[in-house]
Copies of this chain bind each other. A is one copy, B any other.
Amino acid sequence: MVNVAVLGYGVVGSGVVELIDNNNAIFSEKLGQPIDVKYILDIRDFKGDKYEKKLIRDFSVIENDPEISVVVETIGGIGAAYDFTKRALTAGKNVVTSNKELVATHAPELLILARQKGVSYLFEASVGGGIPIIRPMFYCLAANEINKIVGILNGTTNYILTKMIYEKTPFDKALVQAQKLGYAEADPTADIDGHDTCRKICILAALAFGRHVYPECVYTKGIRDITLDDISKADAHGRVIKLLGSAKKLENGDIEIFVSPCAIRKTHALANIEDVYNGIMVTGDAVGDVTFNGRGAGKFPTASAVCSDVIDAARDSIQYSIFWKDEGRDFIRSFEDIKFNYLPGTDIPVIE
C-alpha cells in the first residue's frame, strides 16, 4: 500500500485527493499495489466534506508516520510549505509539489536534501499545469543541448490577452472577466505583473541549463500597461501580443532570460495558444523545436501532473539534483544588454 499525505486542501490539493480516489484502479495497476490518501493537512474546517475523516492539523503526525511514503505539498508560498517540505524530506519521504514559488526559490537546497536522503523531490505541476514538460525536458530531450525555451506560462494573462485580441475588450474589463471566471485571483498581481511567469521560466531555465536562476535576477514585466492600441499595432504587423517567458543560452555560456509582453508572428507556434492554455517551445540542437500545449492551470489538469509525480515517486527514486547547481547570479545577461527590435510606436519587443 502506498500511503500519501496531502498538505493543503485547496483547489489543487482537493483535486489530488479526488483524482486518487476516482482513478484508483489506474493508480493501483501502474504501481502494482493499492494507493490511498491517509491524511489531508489543513488548518481550516471542512465540515461535511467527503474526506473529512482524513483531515488533520498537526504536521508531525505525517512526519512521524512510517507508513507515509509520499507527501504532496499543495500549500503554496514559501512559508509553511518550505518548512514542511524540508521536514518531510529529512524524514525520508518523497515530496511532490505544484508550488512554483518554492521550487523557483529553494530548489537547489531541497534537491540536495532529497538526494542525501535518497528520495525524490518532484515538481511536474509547477510549470504548465497538466502539460507534461519537466519530465519530457529532463528525459526525452536528454540527448540534446537545449538552447532556448520560450513559453506562454500563465493562463490568466493569456486569457486576458485573448479577450483583448479577439473581442477588443480593454485590459481592465478583461481582468474583471477573468476574476469572475475564477481564472484571476482577487489580488491579481502575481499573474498580471509577470511574477508567476518569471518563477516558471526560472524553473525551466534551471532544468535546461543546469543552473539555478533566482527569480529576482530576472527582468520581469507584465501586461498591466498593454492597451488595445498596442494590440492593433501588432495586428497591423501580422503579429499578436503574448506574455512570454524566454530563456536562451548564449555562446559564452551566459543566460539571457526575461519575462515581457512580446509581439510574435501570427504563424508562430505559440500564437494560437489561446484562453487559459499554456504553450512551451523548447529548442534542442538535435530535435529542433518541440512545442507542448494544454491547460496551464485548473484543479484536475494540475492534479494530473501532481499525481503522475506521485506514481513516479512511489515507483522509483528520481533525482533531478545533479543537473541543477547553484552557481550564483553572474551568468545572467542584463535585460538592457539584449538587442531587441520593438513593435513600431511601442516598447514591446518583437520576437521571431
Contact = CB atoms under 8 A, between A and B. Distances in A.
Interface of A: 15, 19-20, 23, 26-27, 29-30, 32, 124, 130-132, 135-136, 139-145, 267, 269, 272, 284-295, 298, 300-301, 303-305, 307-308, 310-312, 316, 322-323
B294 A294 contact: no
Contacts of A304: 141, 143-144, 284, 286-287
A310 B19 contact: no
A135 B132 CA distance: 10
B142 A308 contact: yes
Question: How many copies of this kind of chain does the complex include?
Answer: 2
Given A288-B295, A290-B292, A23 B131 contact: no
Nearest to A266: B272
A288 B128 CA distance: 13
Contacts of A15: 286
Nearest to A132: B140
Contacts of A323: 29-30
A294 B286 contact: no
The CB with the most chain B CB atoms within 10 A, among A27, A143, A312, is that of: A143
A350 to B, nearest CB: 20
A139 B308 contact: yes
B295 A292 contact: no
Contact of A307 (B135, B286, B294): B286
